[in-house]
Amino acid sequence: MKAGTTRGGSRAAVAAAGLVSALAAGCAGPSEAPMTDTPGEAVAGLTEAERGRFLLGRALFERLATPEEGLGPLFNGDRCSTCHDQPAAGGGGTRVRVLKATGMAEGRCTLLESVGGDNIQLRATPLLLAAGLGPEDVPPEATATALLVAPPLFGLGLLEAVSESELARRADPGDADGDGISGRMARFADGRVARFGRKGDAATVADFVESALRFELGFTTEGHPREEARNGVPVPAAADPAPDPEMDAATMALLIAYVRLLAPPAPEAPASAEAADSIARGGRLFDEVGCARCHVSSLTTGTASESALSRRRIRAYTDLLLHDLGGAVGDVCTPRAAPGEYRTAPLWGLRYRELFLHDGSAATLEAAIGAHRGEAEAVTRAFQGLSPNRAALLLRFLSRL
């Protein structure tokens, strides 16, 4: 009996301790994720090992790749920062655009895998050119093409750490609330949520990085050790001097760590109390008009392997869901997203963008808002119905993000 009492007491003590700890955690609540005034920096609060991995990953990100190392034979850029360098390494870019091509037949989307895939590589290494082969062509089977600008990578680790339940809470695929805005979680066949990419193209930062390595730089990886075919035809072995896989898992892990740990850019600090007030009023208009229904101002991260990313409130202005923006901005498709469907783009760091929308087709924020149709039609009209002064306040708010 004595022993049983002891065991019972022990269990009670453990349970009580767990409760206290859960309460403590609940009381603490998520803290604001630190943002940076210096784009390209790591999130604050990393351990020495995490910071070392971030910096080594950045060195790789900036490094000029060569065919001997694994570049090509087909590729779009010879280093990651060829495309992701505005305003700093890890940012977006407009200098190089990625050509996508997809097919649509009987309402079904195809990524044209048999004729080279949806990513059209526009450059070829000297060895491939010497073999009489050049960059890829858009296959005749394509029914749509798009020239895309590289998105900024800031804050991706925090977005990855947002829990699925947090996203699900905001999804309304059937527009149950009747506000005209649905929003759905795109999922891969294995059930993972496709939260990255313009059209929900990747579930994790690791997937995103691996795709970029394969399709933009032409590296084979341990997960995908076969070289990309040129419009579906294998490239000659003589044009591909590096042994496969061209990037090992440890090296790729450094790149992934770098991208995961890039800090989100902080909004520009207002120069005066008056400026702060007008920005705050612009922020309220952003909510009132309805922009914030998709570009939600706050998400909370769950548990991540790095404490710097865990239980943080983030100001990314996205719900990471797919929305139908209408035919006007529609182009290529994916198996998970129709031509007019796009994942809500994060708006943090907007002040560093020179062109807007996925294809850089909007030169101003006003033009970008005006291009939002489909589910966003009513919101766009509401913005366009604002008085010039109020519209200017809203745009000012956005241009400081």
Partner 1 sequence: MSGGALRRKRAGPAVGIAVVLAACGAGADPAPVARVGDWVLTQERLADLLVLAQPLPLDSGSVGALVDQWVSMAALAQRTAAGTDLNGPEATEASLWLERREALLDAERRARLGEAVRISPEQARAEFHADTLRLLAHVLRRAGAFTSDAERDLQRRTAQGILDDLVAGGSWAAAVDRSEDVETRTSSGLLGLLRVDELPSRLREAAARLEPGQVSSVVESPQGYHILYRPRFEEVAELYPRLLADRRLEAADAEADRRVGDSLGVRIAAGGAGWVRALARGSGERAVLREPPAGWDGGALGVDVVARHVLALPDDARARLGGASDDAAVAFLERLAVRQARLEGAVRGGIAADGGALDDLTGMHRADVEAWRAALSDGATPFSRQAVDRYMERLVARRISLRPVPALLRRWLLEPLVWGVDATARDNAAASARRLISAAARREGS
User: Which amino acid, residue 127?
Assistant: L
Other Cβ atoms less than 10 A from the Cβ of 123: the count is 20
d(CA 243, CA 229): 16
Q: For the CA atoms of 233, 237, 240, 242, what is the dihedral angle to 10 degrees?
A: 130
Taking the complex as a whole, the smallest distance from the CB of residue 358 to partner 1 amounts, in Å, to 24
17 touches partner 1 (CB under 8 A): no
Mask for 242-271, x = binds partner 1 (CB under 8 A): x-----x-xx-xx-----------------
Please select the residue that binds partner 1; options are 36, 81, 110, 344, rule is CB under 8 A. Answer: 81
68 touches partner 1 (CB under 8 A): yes
* β-bridge pairing 322-324 and 341-343: antiparallel
Please select the residue that binds partner 1; options are 6, 21, 47, 303, rule is CB under 8 A. Answer: 47
| Axis crossing angle, helix 273-289 with helix 388-400, rounded to the nearest 10 | 100
d(CA 48, CA 54): 10
53 touches partner 1 (CB under 8 A): yes
* Residue 192 and residue 186 in contact, taking contact as beta carbons nearer than 8 Å: no
The closest alpha carbon to 156, from 336, 320, 351, 354, belongs to 320
> Which region, judged by CB under 8 A, interacts with partner 1, from 46-54, 142-150, 157-165, 260-268?
46-54
132 touches partner 1 (CB under 8 A): no
Q: Which residue number, 66 or 114, has a Cβ lying nearer to partner 1?
A: 66
φ and ψ at residue 162, rounded to 5 degrees: -65, 130
Please select the residue that binds partner 1; options are 33, 43, 50, 279, rule is CB under 8 A. Answer: 50
> Which region, judged by CB under 8 A, interacts with partner 1, from 51-59, 95-103, 132-140, 271-279?
51-59
Please select the residue that binds partner 1; options are 51, 281, 284, 313, rule is CB under 8 A. Answer: 51
240 token code pair: 């591909």
The closest alpha carbon to 360, from 153, 151, 199, 197, belongs to 151
- Angle in degrees, CA 32, 162, 276, rounded to 5: 35
Please select the residue that binds partner 1; options are 30, 62, 304, 373, rule is CB under 8 A. Answer: 62
Query: Which single residue is written with the structure tokens 């609060």?
Result: 45
Mask for 204-243, x = binds partner 1 (CB under 8 A): -------------------------------------xx-
Q: What is the total count of residues that contact partner 1 (CB under 8 A)?
A: 28
> Which region, judged by CB under 8 A, interacts with partner 1, from 9-17, 66-74, 172-180, 311-319?
66-74
Instruction: Indicate the DSSP class of residue 140.
Output: T
59 touches partner 1 (CB under 8 A): yes
Tell which positions 352-391 bind partner 1, by CB under 8 A: none
169 token code pair: 């809470």
94 touches partner 1 (CB under 8 A): no
> Which region, judged by CB under 8 A, interacts with partner 1, from 2-10, 65-73, 192-200, 354-362?
65-73
Question: Could you please report the per-residue DSSP string of 163-201?
Answer: -HHHHHHH--TT-TT-SS---B--B-TTS-B--BTTTT-
Q: Which residue number, 21 or 47, has a Cβ lying nearer to partner 1?
A: 47
> Which residues form the interface with partner 1 (CB under 8 A)?
47-53, 55-56, 58-59, 62-64, 66-69, 81, 87, 89, 241-242, 248, 250-251, 253-254
